[in-house]
Structure 1
Amino acid sequence: MQPIKLGRMTIHKVHEMDSPTPMTMNLPGVTPQDLARLKQWYDPEDGEITLDPETSQMNFSVHSFVIEVDGQTILVDTCDGNHKNRLVEAVHQLDTDYLGNLRRAGFAPGDIDLVMCTHLHFDHVGWNTMLDGGKWVPTFPNAKYLFGRKDYEYFKENPEGEEAHHESFADSIVPVMEAGQGIIVDENHVAHREIGDGVWLEPAFGHSPGCCTIHGQAGGEEAIFWGDVIHHPVQMIRYDLPFAFDADPPAASQTRQRVMKRAAEEDLLCFPAHFRKTSAGRVKVDGDVYRYEWV
């Protein structure tokens, strides 16, 4: 994605990795008819989507966004991280060039003023910390990190079934708090200036207990960073189906519908956490469901 300028705000994408997984593992219930409808407008150019759910893949991009606004540099979601022990084999002991990609986008770790996480799942907090002399330390030494209160209180208790996210809490959240760089905020927190002219959080509960969307507007159109509200474009057709890792599937489905409806009605510029290609785009009404147009 080339940098996108919206008034006083410029948005960059920083790629970490691509992660292919079987469609039926993440979203059981998808039908050949759903995939045929998806293929009318979704073209990843690599045969990811077939007309058979058993052979279709969900290929995810894992990336961050950097927002430059009013002299502030804000990093949204910090991917998986390197050298971390993970129960999920696909992200166990990674060694990616994420920091190199950050530098190629024009930013050193010390340039980041604020880190914001849409939620506290392992693939959104990993680069909060890095190994230094065998110890986990904040990757962004000059940044404050904002963590939503609901997710923070939930994952620190190591709830049953959330072991994969608790281990990232231990190595990617706790060290930030111990370093004095973490701030616990409510899910409607205003991070910069004010709503409608700044950067702010809005509740989007369901995928995690405290999942949020992040919004930015600065003298131009509004941008929405929706994290994991929608992982893959097929969910714009089957927003009713539970997705893997949804903590509260009915609430997650309701949130998906609400976010898509608003994005379409208000023509928001969207920055999904896992869509491929340029990632950025717009939600459009498509009969009784929705479709996505990349920019």
Structure 2
Amino acid sequence: MKPIELGRMRVHKVHEMDSPVPLLSQLPGTTRADMERLLAWYDQPDEVNGDPETSFMTFSVHSWVIEIDGMTILVDTCDGNHKNRSLEAVHRLDTDYLGNLRRAGFAPEDIDLVMCTHLHFDHVGWNTRLENGKWVPTFANARYLFGRRDYEYFQANPAGEELHYESFLDSILPVMDAGKGELVDENHVAHREIGDGVWLEPAFGHSPGCCTINAQAGGAPALFWGDVVHHPVQLIRHDLPFAFDMDAAMASATRKRTLERAADEDLLCFPAHFRRTSAGRVKRDGDAFRYQWVG
């Protein structure tokens, strides 16, 4: 994917892997009517069809790199390699993520700032890499920003969050131990100021401290929405509970509010898990929304 230029800012996509799972295992309640409406503007025949029972939800797992004012910012760091995970699909991966990062024009040492929209396993994995049997920060010259709410929640090893606690131990704590991590509130301004820089905005529900990352630099505004929306069918059914949502009702309200804002303000959106170029704009479509990809 070619970088997208927005004023003083350039945005690059760095792909790690695609991960298909049965649609209803992640979004129970999806109906045939939902799928028929989706197929009017989303045509991925290897993934979706008119029958939710036989459709898949394919996660594109990727990062975004923002170049802005001489800074290089990495947003969300995917699954990571060689990590022991209780989910077989991501257990001890060996992907070419760092090769893809280099092909996008960046070496790990080029990254100045790492930002995670939340601290689930598939958004923090490349924070660290294995070196001589020890987990060390992958981006040695970077500061890492971690949301305080998620950090404190997963630090306590809560029941039912074993998968994310695994990643907390090998992908968050080693960064903190190395003195590279910083805990911030979910409305933190990371660069310059709101409206001309990079800043966080609370988007609670999917996780306790889930947030979106906003960026603008003299051009169109950009929204990195993380896991507020996982799949295009949620633009039709924002109320669908997602399997990994901590608070489904709160996540649904956040999702609706985010989609409304994206449509009304014509934001260029950078989802964490959409396929194709991933980037696009949300458009109103009667009582729901649709997505218009760019690139």
Residue equivalent to 1:286:
285
Q: Deviations over 1:189-239 (max 9, x none)?
A: 000000000000000000000000000000001000000000000011111
1:2 partnered with 2:2: yes
Residue equivalent to 1:67:
66
SS in structure 1 at match of 2:166: helix
SS in structure 1 at match of 2:245: coil
User: Which runs of 4 or more aligned residues in structure 1 lie more than 6 Å from their structure 2 counterparts after TM superposition?
Assistant: none
SS in structure 2 at match of 1:173: helix
SS in structure 1 at match of 2:13: strand
Q: Which amino acid aligns with 1:3?
A: P
Aligned runs of 1:51-130 on 2, under 5 Å?
51-130=50-129
Residue equivalent to 2:34:
34
Residue equivalent to 2:16:
16
Aligned runs of 1:175-186 on 2, under 5 Å?
175-186=174-185
Q: Which amino acid aligns with 2:104?
A: A
1:273 partnered with 2:281: no
CA distance in 1, matches of 2:219, 2:268: 11
Q: How many residues align?
A: 294
Residue equivalent to 1:167:
166
Residue equivalent to 1:251:
250
1:133 partnered with 2:120: no
CA distance in 1, matches of 2:266, 2:43: 22
Structure 1, unaligned stretches of length 5 or more? Answer: none
Q: Deviations over 1:171-201 (max 9, x none)?
A: 0000000000000000000000000000000
SS in structure 1 at match of 2:122: helix
TM-score between both structures, scaled by the size of structure 1: 0.99
Residue equivalent to 2:212:
213
SS in structure 1 at match of 2:126: helix
Q: Deviations over 1:70-94 (max 9, x none)?
A: 0000000000000000011110000
SS in structure 2 at match of 1:205: coil
In the TM superposition, what is the alpha-carbon distance from 1:65 to its structure 2 partner?
0.2
CA distance in 2, matches of 1:252, 1:148: 17
CA distance in 2, matches of 1:188, 1:123: 22
In the TM superposition, what is the alpha-carbon distance from 1:43 to its structure 2 partner?
1.2
SS in structure 1 at match of 2:73: strand
Q: Percent identity?
A: 76
CA distance in 2, matches of 1:244, 1:37: 22
CA distance in 1, matches of 2:156, 2:195: 35
Aligned runs of 1:191-230 on 2, under 5 Å?
191-230=190-229
CA distance in 1, matches of 2:86, 2:233: 26
Structure 2, unaligned stretches of length 5 or more? Answer: none
CA distance in 2, matches of 1:192, 1:180: 20
CA distance in 2, matches of 1:95, 1:47: 24
CA distance in 1, matches of 2:272, 2:21: 16
In the TM superposition, what is the alpha-carbon distance from 1:47 to its structure 2 partner?
3.0
TM-score between both structures, scaled by the size of structure 2: 0.99
CA distance in 1, matches of 2:231, 2:153: 26
CA distance in 1, matches of 2:77, 2:234: 23
Residue equivalent to 1:43:
43
CA distance in 2, matches of 1:195, 1:33: 40
